[in-house]
Amino acid sequence: MKNSLVSIAYMFLITFLFTSLVSAVKFFNEEKILNNEKTKLQKVVLHVLDISIINKADEEILQLFESRIRVKKNLNDVKYYVAYENDVETISGYAFTVGGSGFWGPIEAIVAVDDKLSKIKGISFYKHTETPGLGARITEKWFTKQFEGLSLHPVSAGEKMFYLKPLGSKTDEKDLDAITGATGTSRAVENFLNSELDIILKNFDPLRKG
């Protein structure tokens, strides 16, 4: 009996010590982590909207983001981004956060469209847990570049705005190259992105003031 009490007390003490240590490390680094994530998201938004961020320091990126991008919310309280030209008046495009289930876990992406919602300007899959070297290749340039210029239009049931086909089996411009060896991820991206794009096209009204 005495032994088990000692064990419990010991375990309690050790757990307390180590969780305190972890919490302390977390506490002192939290702001930095949040900042990193914020900067990363801003970079992604600027990048997909085709605003150059190459060779820019974090502060410059912040400035650029604040001058060229407005963050707004739609009716469902979901954030979206409006990009302006250099004159800060003409709208050059919109960016939306989209997401869905990947092969292993959720995938989040930001997709940018032009001001008329007729074409994709860029896309970036910025959060995912796909297999490195396989599904994780959705972040590679050759893959995301294929989406640029893809035309957007409402589709009827059963039809999709784009298809991911095995390498070398493309037949028309709606077909993009899938990732070899990552059929699960490719299929997941095809599914959630098509349905999210469809929702944006049907529900988003750029003229609505928000």
Partner 1 sequence: MNKKTSSRDIFISGLWEDNPVLRHVLGICSTLAVTNLVANTLVMDAGLIFTLSMSCLTVSILRSYTPLRIRMMVQTLIIASYVIIVDILIKAHLPDISDALGPYVGLIITNCIIMGRCEAFARNNPPWASFLDGIAVALGYSFVLLAIALVREPLGFGTLMGYQVMPEGFKPWNIMMMAPGAFFMLGLLIWFIRARFPRTEGEQINGCT
Contacts with partner 1, residue ranges (CB under 8 A): 3, 6-7, 10-11, 14-15, 18-19, 21-22, 25-26, 29, 32-33, 36, 40, 128-129, 131-134, 136, 180-181
Cα–Cα distances in angstroms (integers) from residue 203 to residues 69, 142, 143, 154, 160, in the given order: 21, 30, 27, 11, 17
Residue type, 42: Q
Closer to partner 1 by Cβ: residue 158 or 168: 168
Query: What is the SS3 assignment for 63?
Result: helix
Minimum Å gap between C-beta 152 and partner 1 is 29
Closer to partner 1 by Cβ: residue 117 or 134: 134
* Half-sphere exposure for 177 (CA within 13 Å, toward CB): 14
Closer to partner 1 by Cβ: residue 22 or 75: 22
31-57 per-residue burial string, b: 16 or more CB within 10 A, e: under 16 = eeeeeeeeeebbbbbbbbbebeeeeee
Closer to partner 1 by Cβ: residue 27 or 205: 27
Rounded Cα distance, 187 and 208, in Å: 34
Closer to partner 1 by Cβ: residue 121 or 128: 128
Minimum Å gap between C-beta 178 and partner 1 is 13
What is the distance of C-alpha 93 from the center of its chain?
Answer: 17
